[in-house]
Amino acid sequence: MKKTIIIILICVAVVLICLKASLYVVDVRVQAVVTQFGKPVRTVAVPGLYAKTPFIQEIRYFDKRLLEWDGEPSDILTRDKENIGVGTWARWKISDSLKFYTSLGSEERGQRVLDEVIESAVKNVVSAYPLKEVLRNTNRKLEYTTKELEEAEDAKKVLINLGRDKIVEEIRKMAARALQERYGIELVDVRIKYINYVEAVIPKIYDRMRSERIRIANKYESEGRREEAEILGSMKRELERIESEGYRTAEETKGMADAEALRIYAEAYQKAPEFYSFIKTLETYEATFNTQTHLILTTDGDYFKYLKSFELEGVPEPK
């Protein structure tokens, strides 16, 4: 009885093992390749429970979802001889599991193939265009912090014929053809993460930027000096105008004062001509005589008449 139970248990175990070895599940997230002695016999992409020959056939699972690829930066020389570093990323999936298995066998090897194919496509396409086409997507006018930088950009006459998006699409198509035909990989999307100058070129770029800023600073300084000269010239002209007007006003005032004085003198002369003559003669004496003055005059002159009539006390008249 015990032997019978043991035999039954062994048979059940064998049946379970065979059943487990002959059934497999395909998840919604994966696709399967059934191999027999290492050779693929069929593929399964629809989720569900399937049967296979136990111990002879094996199942290889491959992800059916979008997979990530993040490439290393590539040093590229553009058509206008600009040495830049381009970083790219991509999203891909296994579209033909049988071709993928026979050509690569694993997703790890698929990543290495993507490194080669995508980076090669990036170098081939980017090197065929000038840097402005890779950087910009449209002819949209850029905004600058200074008017001088905007004018310098306008002077370059940048014209975008293709643009970055179309270049990236060209990269995707070039890489997708090789991947689909040979490896059963569908390249869903490719994008450029960043574009930068290589380290050896960056100091030269900074020097170029510095020289551009120095040129703008010199322009500001030159304009400042020109405006300073204009302001100083305007100040000088204004000062000369004010001085001229002041001199004219002073001369007019002086002339009016002299005219008024002459008028007063004339009125005084009319009222007392002898007294006026006497006063003016005394003023003349004061202005012309000093201790060193020697006069030789005739007694008939008007200049001498007041001296002639003047008698000093105790001094006899001349004979």
CA distance readout (Å), 278 to 115, 263, 298: 124, 18, 19
- Of 146, 175, 200, the residue that ends a domain is 200
Q: What pLDDT is stored for residue 92 in this prediction? A: 94
Tell me, yes or no, whether 267 and 283 share the same domain: no
Tell me, yes or no, whether 37 and 115 share the same domain: no
Supply the CATH number for residue 77's domain. Answer: 3.30.479.30
Query: Within a domain: residue 77?
Result: yes
Q: What pLDDT is stored for residue 181 in this prediction? A: 85
Tell me, yes or no, whether 51 and 71 share the same domain: no
Tell me, yes or no, whether 76 and 166 share the same domain: yes
Report the alpha-carbon distance of residue 307 to residue 42 in Å, rounded: 156
pTM of the model: 0.58
- Of 200, 226, 251, the residue that ends a domain is 200
Query: Within a domain: residue 178?
Result: yes
Q: What pLDDT is stored for residue 57 in this prediction? A: 83
Q: What pLDDT is stored for residue 309 in this prediction? A: 59
Total number of domains in the chain: 4
Query: Within a domain: residue 238?
Result: yes
Tell me, yes or no, whether 158 and 83 share the same domain: yes
Tell me, yes or no, whether 71 and 125 share the same domain: yes
Tell me the sheet residues that pair with 70. Answer: 89
Query: Within a domain: residue 244?
Result: yes
Tell me, yes or no, whether 91 and 196 share the same domain: yes
Q: Where are the beta strands (DSSP E) in 81-235?
A: 83-94, 185-197
Check residue 4 and report its DSSP letter.
H
For every one of its 319 residues, what pLDDT tens digit does the chain have, with 9 covering 90 and above? 677 777 776 776 766 666 667 788 888 999 999 998 888 888 898 888 888 888 788 889 999 999 999 988 888 888 888 888 899 999 999 999 999 999 988 889 999 999 999 999 999 999 999 888 888 887 776 666 666 666 666 666 667 788 889 999 999 999 998 898 889 999 999 999 888 887 766 677 677 778 877 877 888 888 888 998 999 999 999 998 898 989 889 988 988 898 888 788 777 777 777 777 777 777 777 777 677 777 666 666 666 666 665 544 444 454 4
Among 97, 121, 117, which residue's Cα sits nearest to residue 107? 97
Tell me, yes or no, whether 88 and 77 share the same domain: yes
The 57-63 sheet, strands edge to edge: 39-44, 30-36, 57-63
Tell me, yes or no, whether 195 and 87 share the same domain: yes
Question: How far is the first Cα of the chain from the last one, in angstroms, to the nearest whole number?
Answer: 200
Query: Within a domain: residue 110?
Result: yes
Q: What pLDDT is stored for residue 62 in this prediction? A: 92
Residues whose CB is less than 8 angstroms from the CB of residue 77 and which lie 6 or more positions away in sequence, other chains included: 83, 84, 127
> Is the distance from CB of 164 to CB of 153 less than 8 angstroms?
no
Q: ∠ CA 232-233-236 to the nearest 5 degrees?
A: 85
What residues make up the domain containing 300?
274-319
For residue 185, which amino acid is it?
Answer: I
Tokens of 176: 């997708």
